[in-house]
């Protein structure tokens, strides 16, 4: 795992690191997409001929959360990130390094990659990066409609990974493609125990200006019987509130659940932006083949302790999200430009911009996890999230979010498909500062 002391990492990010001007794979590249007319500007240096540029970005997300047990009232720093970026030779060569200081005693590497632009249609990117999978996962945390993504997003899309990606866009960004190969082991993990690579592909289209369509696929090869595996389901418990809330599906610790067949992951859906309105939805599916259970976490099955075949496992989820800027500003999916910003020329001026967001999601995991005694909890979750966002100026916003989750139980002591009479309630307030 890569880890740097905070002081050394901060010095490294300021002194020597270049930055990548390429946006996340969810959006085509443009010269400058972040509006700073009345907001915060990142420190930026540029050569006299305009060929080379270097700049810094930062974000701090401070959360206050409370709710029904076991969500006790708490304060924490959700993110504290410094990113250094650079472009060279008129954006032919770009690079980015992002360091995360929140929730850690050292600085964890997030983004660390270089991009070579041969042509808009032919670009190569190498290093640790977000995989081109799921529009919601590729949306930056500074511009999410809610504090956390839907439950399934991190489970399927996963964190960043190390590998190569080829991508490109057509003129006008009507079409874009992304295809890459990655270790498949996750963020900051160099050792690829199974010596196999994941393949990820994504295509996007804009048939008309307000409409955006995307589809993604990720393939993880199977692991041969008796071979070491870099992937098990042990301790991969399922949590609400985007994976940061209460455990609703607890995989038992006395069983190592190993996938020997292929793992298929798919995601896709539309997004519509028109004036103050944004509506989007996404469907995600995971299909695990030839799953086996190894008792007592045995490294390899033995004659007196053979593995138990579980079969194939299917998990799916869908969500719909609607957002509306009630103060009249365009909903661009990035920083809202308040018509009446809180500060103007250093003085109090207006009330900022206000945005309302509603999301419904349904998550369903394979009931065999419960009926075969591999896990306890619920196989189905229905969750609703409502969030009010106040943008004082671009780069500073406050989110007030309420999340409710209802669970359908399939544990052996409960009737099938019975509904939990006490749903989970979570209230979260976030202060979001970024430039």
Q: What is d(CA 325, CA 389) in angstroms, rounded to the nearest whole number?
A: 9
23 Cβ neighbours under 8 A, 6+ residues apart: 29, 30, 33
138, 160 contact by CB (below 8 A): no
Q: Is residue 12 part of a domain?
A: yes
379 CB neighbour count, 10 Å cutoff: 25
Q: Is residue 1 part of a domain?
A: no
Percent of all residues in the chain with a pLDDT value above 70, rounded to a whole number: 78
Q: What pLDDT score was predicted for residue 292?
A: 78
Q: What pLDDT score was predicted for residue 20?
A: 35
Q: What pLDDT score was predicted for residue 253?
A: 62
* Residue 198 to residues 109, 167, 182, 258, 273, Cα–Cα distance (Å): 21, 16, 5, 17, 33
Q: Is residue 415 part of a domain?
A: yes
Across 196-203, average pLDDT: 95
Across 98-103, average pLDDT: 88
Q: Which pLDDT band, with edges at 50, 70 and 90, does 58 fall under? A: very high
374, 310 contact by CB (below 8 A): yes
Identify the CA nearest to 199 among candidates 179, 178, 214: 179
Q: Is residue 295 part of a domain?
A: yes
How many residues are there in the chain? Answer: 435
Helix (H) or strand (E) segment spanning residue 99: strand 93-100
The chain-wide mean pLDDT, for the chain, equals 82
pLDDT tens track for 225-276: 555 454 555 446 788 887 777 788 887 765 567 777 889 999 999 999 999 9
Q: Give whichever of 220-229, 276-285, 416-425 has the largest mean pLDDT.
A: 276-285
Strands 93-100 and 74-88: antiparallel
Q: Tokens 């994504």 belong to which residue?
A: 202
pLDDT tens track for 143-152: 999 999 998 8
Give the CATH number of the domain where residue 138 resides.
2.40.160.10
Across 408-434, average pLDDT: 67
From the number of C-beta atoms within 10 Å of its C-beta (0-12, 13-18, 19+), residue 243 rates as: middle
Q: Is residue 180 part of a domain?
A: yes
Q: Which pLDDT band, with edges at 50, 70 and 90, does 218 fall under? A: very high
Q: Which domain holds residue 29?
A: 6-434
From the number of C-beta atoms within 10 Å of its C-beta (0-12, 13-18, 19+), residue 118 rates as: exposed
Q: What pLDDT score was predicted for residue 27?
A: 47
Does 36 have pLDDT greater than 50? no
Q: Give whichever of 62-71, 156-165, 181-190, 389-398 has the largest mean pLDDT.
A: 389-398
Helix (H) or strand (E) segment spanning residue 151: helix 151-157
At residue 307, the 3 state secondary structure works out as coil
Q: What pLDDT score was predicted for residue 273?
A: 96
Does 37 have pLDDT greater than 70? no
The least confident of 99-108, 117-126, 128-137, 310-319 is 99-108
Q: Tokens 């997004």 belong to which residue?
A: 271
Does 409 have pLDDT greater than 50? yes
Across 36-63, average pLDDT: 85
Phi, psi (5° rounding) for residue 15?
-85, -45
Does 370 have pLDDT greater than 60? yes
> How many degrees, rounded to 5, is the angle at CA 207 between CA 206 and CA 213?
50
Across 328-356, average pLDDT: 92
Q: Is residue 230 part of a domain?
A: yes
* Residue 180 to residues 123, 130, 131, 288, Cα–Cα distance (Å): 12, 11, 8, 21
The least confident of 49-58, 100-109, 249-258 is 249-258
Q: Residue 282 is encoded by which pair of tokens?
A: 């996404």
Q: What is d(CA 269, CA 206) in angstroms, rounded to the nearest whole number?
A: 12
Percent of all residues in the chain with a pLDDT value above 90, rounded to a whole number: 53
The least confident of 154-158, 198-202, 314-318, 321-325 is 154-158
Q: What is d(CA 238, CA 246) in angstroms, rounded to the nearest whole number?
A: 8
Domain count for the chain: 1
At residue 14, the 3 state secondary structure works out as helix
Q: Is residue 346 part of a domain?
A: yes
The answer to whether the peptide bond before residue 70 is cis (omega within 30 degrees of 0) is yes
Does 285 have pLDDT greater than 60? yes
At residue 173, the 3 state secondary structure works out as helix
Q: Residue 421 is encoded by which pair of tokens?
A: 């009479």
Q: Tokens 């990142």 belong to which residue?
A: 42
Q: Is residue 370 part of a domain?
A: yes
Query: Cα dihedral angle (143, 101, 82, 218), rounded to 10 degrees?
Result: -60
Identify the CA nearest to 121 among candidates 214, 211, 31, 28: 28
Does 212 have pLDDT greater than 80? yes
- Give me the DSSP letters along 377-393: EEEEEEEEEEEEEEEEE
């Amino acid at each position: 795992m890569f880890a740097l002391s905070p002081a050394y990492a901060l010095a490294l990010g300021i002194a020597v690191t270049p930055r990548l001007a390429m946006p996340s794979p969810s959006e085509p590249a443009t010269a400058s997409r972040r509006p700073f007319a009345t907001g915060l500007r990142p420190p930026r240096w540029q050569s006299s001929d305009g060929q080379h540029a270097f700049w810094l970005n930062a974000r701090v997300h401070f959360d206050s959360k409370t709710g029904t047990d076991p969500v006790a009232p708490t304060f924490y720093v959700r993110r504290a990130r410094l990113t250094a970026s650079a472009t060279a030779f008129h954006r032919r060569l770009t690079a980015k390094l992002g360091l995360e200081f929140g929730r850690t005693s050292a600085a964890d590497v997030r983004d660390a990659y270089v991009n070579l632009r041969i042509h808009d249609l032919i670009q190569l990117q190498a290093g640790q990066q977000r995989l081109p999978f799921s529009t919601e996962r590729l949306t930056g945390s500074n511009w999410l409609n809610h504090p956390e993504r839907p439950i399934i997003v991190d489970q399927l899309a996963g964190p960043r990974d190390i590998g190569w990606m080829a991508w490109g866009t057509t003129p006008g960004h009507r079409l874009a493609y992304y295809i890459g190969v990655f270790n498949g082991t996750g963020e900051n993990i160099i050792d690829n125990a199974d010596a196999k690579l994941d393949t990820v592909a994504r295509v996007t289209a804009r048939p008309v200006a307000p409409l955006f369509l995307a589809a993604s696929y990720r393939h993880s090869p199977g692991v041969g019987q008796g071979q070491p595996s870099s992937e098990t389901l042990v301790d991969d418990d399922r949590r609400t509130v985007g994976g940061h809330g209460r455990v609703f599906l607890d995989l038992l610790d006395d069983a190592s659940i190993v996938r020997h067949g292929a793992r298929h992951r798919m995601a896709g859906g539309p997004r519509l932006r028109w004036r103050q309105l944004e509506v989007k939805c996404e469907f995600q599916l995971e299909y695990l083949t030839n799953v086996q259970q190894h008792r007592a976490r045995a490294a390899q099955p033995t004659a007196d302790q053979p593995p138990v075949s579980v079969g194939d496992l299917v998990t799916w989820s869908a969500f719909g999200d609607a957002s509306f800027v009630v103060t009249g500003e365009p909903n661009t999916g990035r920083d809202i430009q308040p018509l009446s910003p809180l500060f103007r020329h250093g003085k109090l001026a207006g009330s900022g911009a206000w945005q309302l967001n509603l999301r419904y999601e349904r998550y369903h995991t394979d009931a065999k996890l419960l009926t075969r005694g591999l896990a306890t909890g619920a196989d189905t979750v229905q969750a609703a999230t409502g969030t009010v966002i106040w943008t004082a100026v671009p780069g500073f916003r406050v989110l007030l979010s309420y999340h409710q989750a209802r669970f359908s139980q399939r544990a052996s002591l409960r009737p099938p498909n019975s509904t939990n009479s006490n749903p989970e309630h979570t209230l979260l307030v976030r202060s979001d500062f970024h430039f």
